[in-house]
Amino acid sequence: MDEDGYLALTDFGLAKVLENGQQANTFCGTPDYLAPEILTDAGHSFPVDWWAIGILTYEMIVGCPPFFTQSNNYEKMYQMIKKRDVHFPDPERYKIFMSEECKDFIGKLLVKDPAQRLGTRGGCQEVLAHPWFKSIDVDALLRKEVKAPHIP
């Protein structure tokens, strides 16, 4: 969070510069956030970042990543990442309420096929055009004209 109360999210710890169309084959990253294409060693590029935004969004709302396993069994978690669709908790049982737009947003970021993942074809504009953001004036937010709910 910056001094004005706006989120600043950055992580260049494992950044890699790729030429247009080039893919990486490095198996690295936080286990819970690894995209399926990293786990299958199929080669990967920027769509893994959209996957990570989906994981982060889910975790911020639910409290744990979508493919989390209590046993810390990474192999089991990796199989779930590769094969299982994202599951949203029962709102009555867990008291976690997510709008249909929110679930759709997360679901489209967590599409297994990176070519079909939200953001892959249209970048940030495609992501910000999703209905989940319809009530946010993104331009005003970027200009910091939207009052931050907390200023440190």
**Which pLDDT belongs to residue 14?**
63
**Which pLDDT belongs to residue 57?**
97
7 in any annotated domain: no
21 in any annotated domain: no
Give the residue numbers spanning the domain of 117: 33-87+96-142
80 in any annotated domain: yes
Domain count, the chain: 1
**Which pLDDT belongs to residue 45?**
85
Class of residue 18 by CB neighbours under 10 A (exposed 0-12, middle 13-18, buried 19+): exposed
- Residue pair 98/54 in contact by the 8 Å Cβ criterion: no
**Which pLDDT belongs to residue 13?**
59
Return averaged pLDDT per consecutive 10 residues of the chain, 152 residues in all: 84 69 74 93 88 96 94 93 96 96 98 97 95 94 91 90
Neighbours of 66 (CB within 10 A): 22
Residue 58 is part of a domain; what is its CATH number? Answer: 1.10.510.10
109 in any annotated domain: yes
51 in any annotated domain: yes
**Which pLDDT belongs to residue 27?**
64
- Residue pair 101/59 in contact by the 8 Å Cβ criterion: no
68 in any annotated domain: yes
Give the predicted TM-score (pTM) of the model.
Answer: 0.87
104 in any annotated domain: yes
